[in-house]
Amino acid sequence: MSTFVDRAQLHAKAGDGGAGCVSFRRESHVPEGGPDGGDGGRGGDVWLIADRNIASLLSFRDHPHRGATSGVHGMGKKRHGASGNDCLVKVPVGTVVTTLEGEEIVDLANHGERYRIAEGGKGGHGNAKFLSNSRRAPGFAEQGEHGEELWCNLELKLMADVALVGFPNVGKSTLIAAVSAARPKVANYPFTTLEPHLGVVRYPRNAPEAFEFVMADIPGLIEGAASGKGLGLEFLRHVERARVLLYLLDLGEEAPESPERQLEVLRHELGEYLPELLERPTLVVGSKVDLVESDSLAGLPIALGISGATHHNIDRLLGLLTTMVADVRVVEEETSALGDVVIHRPVAEQASAVNEGDGQWRLVGRAAERAVGLSDLSNPAAMDEVVRRLEKLGIDRLLSRAGARDGDEVTIGDFSFTWYRAGSDAALDAALHPDRDSRRKTRRERST
């Protein structure tokens, strides 16, 4: 079973917020104590953290579920519930997170970057928070929000300084085994390498303070790889982030194509997959030089010939790669802010109107759902609070701009009401309180 996994799915479930408490002071000599219900605790978030010590997405293959804990409910005597614990999910550096439809959410390309993939629900307010001059004994509290829950795709694009690019069986695995501690499978048949391998290269190899860089052995490419032939589409993405591309051309007599043709095909496939790859620093090297005469190297499009089996010109190759990688790193340091750890906190959607047809509308968004998330909507005071919150959110303007008409049915979560635009004979608050107009009419008649 392979221990390298570069594609997986994640199910993230943030914690729910705790519910607010409805409570009143009950002490001796205080027969009518005021409200003292505490707030519910906040649910924990689910965070993705890029970690250079994680090599693959293996831990998600059989166990894709990650969840944070929920907040504790509020209690009497204004005791607030404890918040839930965040769930920290470590992923390899270079992990791209997308929706199930393929839309990119975030690219965690640097060590330490964090992304909040699922936000915990906010805790509900206790009835003590609804005390006002006109509402002396609020008998309702606020429910806690549900934490976000979603499925997403994780895709790993390896972060390497040097990527080996070549035809199958060209000697890439032999080379990386010769210059690093990586031990990929080496055999005399095509597509021996079925998964990428990373190796740390030190040059000079025996120096106490040697220059280090990461080399990636990518499975062989063939003509048509960019369109899915062979293993191309599976592993071409691992070349995207490489700082330097090392083209390895087979000089042996059993090579499927001439060195010139090999280079032409490799550059064409990389350009078809991602044109930017043709602008990367490159080094073209001929492999298996121990199998050919030295006179036959003249005129070939290579910087030098090497042999992974006999270590011919290996030190010279590492010297060239060290210089190229060092130069690219200097340019990157000059164009980027070093030491900055990016923390992504997506902004929650406030409210939006969705037309479900036949005069049916649904308001979605955390702010809208929170506006009606009270514990007892049969309580007239609670309904007054709902009306105030919806008016503050500008629901009338939102529905009018979306094309809603008087008498349409509007649903927010599990709460529904018949909507009339503001200023009409039956506006929103009248729809929620059908007996309010008659009460006002009665009061006006009594005053006259």
CATH number at residue 216: 3.40.50.300
Q: Strand, helix or coil at 61?
A: coil
Q: What is the CATH number of the domain that holds 382?
A: 3.30.300.350
**Same domain (yes/no): 302, 443:** no
Tell me which residue has tokens 């008998």: 139
Residue 111 CA to residue 95 CA, distance in Å, equals 11
- Using one digit for the tens of pLDDT, what is the confidence trace for 104-163? 999 998 888 999 999 999 999 999 999 988 888 899 999 999 999 999 999 988 778 898
Domain assignment present for residue 247? The answer is yes
Last residue within a domain, chosen from 156, 186, 207? 156
The rounded distance, in Å, linking the Cα atoms of 42 and 121 is: 6
Residues 240 and 377 in one domain: no
**Of 12-16, 37-41, 191-195, 436-440, the least confident:** 436-440
**How far is residue 305's CA from residue 288's CA, in Å, rounded to a whole number?**
8
pLDDT at 30: 73
Does residue 346 sit within a domain? no
Kind and range of the H or E run holding 319? helix 314-335
Summarize pLDDT for 178-203 with one digit per residue, the tens. Answer: 888 755 444 443 444 446 777 878 88
pLDDT value, residue 45: 96
Please tell me what DSSP assigns to residue 442.
H
Question: Which of these, 177, 180, 207, 203, lies nearest to 192 by C-alpha position?
Answer: 177
Q: Are residues 168 and 152 in the same domain?
A: no
- Give the end of a domain, one of 120, 139, 156: 156
pLDDT at 117: 95
Q: Pick the closest to residue 95 from 60, 66, 147 (CA basis).
A: 60
438 plus 290 within the same structural domain: no
Inform me whether the pLDDT recorded for 440 exceeds 80: no
Q: Has residue 257 been placed in a domain?
A: yes
What gap in Å lies between CA 278 and CA 262, rounded to an integer? 15
* Best CA proximity match to 270, nearest among 296, 239, 301, 229: 239
Q: Reduced to 3 states, what is the DSSP secondary structure of residue 379?
A: coil
**In this structure, is residue 360 part of a structural domain?**
yes
More confident of the two residues 150 and 427: 150
pLDDT for position 158? 77
Answer whether residue 340 is part of any domain: no
Domain identity same for 329 and 387 = no
Cis bond before residue 301 (omega within 30° of 0): no
What gap in Å lies between CA 302 and CA 57, rounded to an integer? Answer: 37
**pLDDT tens, residue by residue, 21-35:** 999 988 877 777 889
Query: CA 306 to CA 297: how far, in whole Å?
Result: 11
Q: Is 18 in contact with 50 (CB distance < 8 Å)?
A: no
Residues 99 and 14 in one domain: yes
Q: Which residue did the predictor score with more confidence, 100 or 3?
A: 100
Is 341 a domain residue? no
Q: Whole-angstrom distance between the N-terminal and C-terminal Cα of the chain?
A: 88
pLDDT, position 67: 96
Sorted by sequence, the CB contacts under 8 Å of residue 279 that are 6+ apart come out as none
List all residues 6 or more positions away from 392 whose beta carbon is below 8 Å from its beta carbon. none
In a domain, 286, yes or no: yes
Going by pLDDT thresholds of 50, 70 and 90, the confidence category of residue 257 is: confident
Rg (CA), the chain: 32
**Six-digit token pair at 334?**
């000059």
| Higher-scoring residue by pLDDT: 37, 234 | 37
Buried b vs exposed e over 294-318: b needs ≥16 C-beta within 10 Å? eeeeeebebbebbbbbeebbbeebb
Host domain of residue 399:
352-447
How many C-beta neighbours within 10 Å does residue 6 have? 22
Final residue of a domain: which of 140, 156, 172?
Answer: 156
Mean pLDDT is lowest, of 222-236, 243-257, 290-304, 314-328, for 222-236
Model pLDDT, residue 349: 62
How many structural domains are present in the chain?
3
The first and second tokens of residue 380, run together, are 């007239």
pLDDT tens-digit map of 322-361: 999 999 988 877 765 544 566 666 666 668 888 998 889 9
| Same domain? 152 vs 167 | no
pLDDT attached to residue 409: 92
Residues 205 and 67 in one domain: no
Average pLDDT over residues 235-248: 84
Give the pLDDT band of residue 444 (cuts 50, 70, 90): very low
**Residue 277 and residue 136 share a domain:** no
Residue-level pLDDT at 32: 72
- Tell me the mean pLDDT in the region 428-439: 48
Band the pLDDT of 378: cuts 50, 70, 90: confident
Same domain, 370 and 276: no
**For residue 137, how many other CB atoms are within 10 A of its CB?**
13
Q: Which pLDDT belongs to residue 344?
A: 66
> Do the Cβ atoms of 127 and 35 come closer than 8 Å?
yes
Q: Is residue 433 part of a domain?
A: yes
At 249 the pLDDT is 92
Tokens of 141: 């509290």
Same domain (yes/no): 308, 286: yes
**Cα 419 off chain centre by:** 38
The per-residue pLDDT for 182 is 59
* Residue 142 and residue 242 share a domain: no
| pLDDT for residue 3 is more than 70 | no
15-24, 84-93, 378-387: lowest mean pLDDT where?
378-387
* Mean per-residue pLDDT over the chain, rounded: 82
